[in-house]
């Protein structure tokens, strides 16, 4: 499930904002969009987008914007010129517990706002399983 710009203020603006991370596809024109679902969507910076349901063959139907609580997604290819980690803000969040091999806790949200493109997290997951990260700005 991805989304389209909402026509006005974000519904549920009384809902708390949760910070998260999301991998987007970077296009040749510099815009970013979803990796697998609703891939034609261009996600603008700073604008709330409401999630919309998109059933896609080969993918489990888990409605909502998918993000992670940390910039870690070993089940996805997250590097390369066409992939970029972004900081996002989320509203209407449900937590979806996944194994650490799939990034750990996923955040499924009714609303997403792209806050920072190319956040370039410098991530390490040490053998002791404690998450550490430092941000490196480009």
pLDDT in tens, 100-121: 777 778 899 999 999 998 765 5
Every domain of the chain and the residues it spans: 2-135
pLDDT tens-digit profile of 38-60? Answer: 889 999 999 999 999 988 888 87
pLDDT at residue 94 is higher than 50 = yes
- Residues 107 and 90 sit within 8 Å (Cβ to Cβ): yes
Provide the pLDDT for residue 121: 58
d(CA 7, CA 1): 18
Decide if 34 contacts 2 (C-beta within 8 A).
Answer: yes
Instruction: Give me the pLDDT at residue 20, please.
Output: 95
Provide the 3-class DSSP secondary structure of residue 63.
coil
CB 122 within 8 A of CB 78: no
pLDDT at 124: 43
Q: For the whole prediction, is pTM greater than 0.75?
A: no
Give me the pLDDT at residue 134, please.
40
User: Measuring CA to CA, which residue among 134, 109, 128 is closest to residue 20?
Assistant: 109
């Amino acid at each position: 499930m991805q989304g389209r710009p909402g026509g006005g203020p974000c519904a549920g603006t009384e809902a708390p904002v949760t910070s998260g991370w999301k991998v987007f596809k970077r296009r040749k024109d510099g815009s970013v969009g979803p990796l697998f679902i609703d891939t034609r969507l261009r996600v603008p910076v700073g604008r709330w987008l409401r999630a919309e349901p998109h059933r896609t063959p080969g993918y489990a139907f888990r409605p909502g914007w998918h993000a992670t609580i940390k910039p870690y997604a070993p089940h996805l290819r997250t590097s390369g010129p066409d992939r970029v980690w972004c900081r996002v803000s989320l509203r209407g969040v449900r937590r979806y517990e996944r194994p650490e091999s799939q990034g750990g806790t996923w955040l499924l949200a009714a609303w997403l706002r792209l806050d920072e493109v190319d956040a370039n997290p410098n991530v390490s997951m040490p053998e002791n399983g404690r998450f550490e990260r430092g941000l490196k700005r480009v």
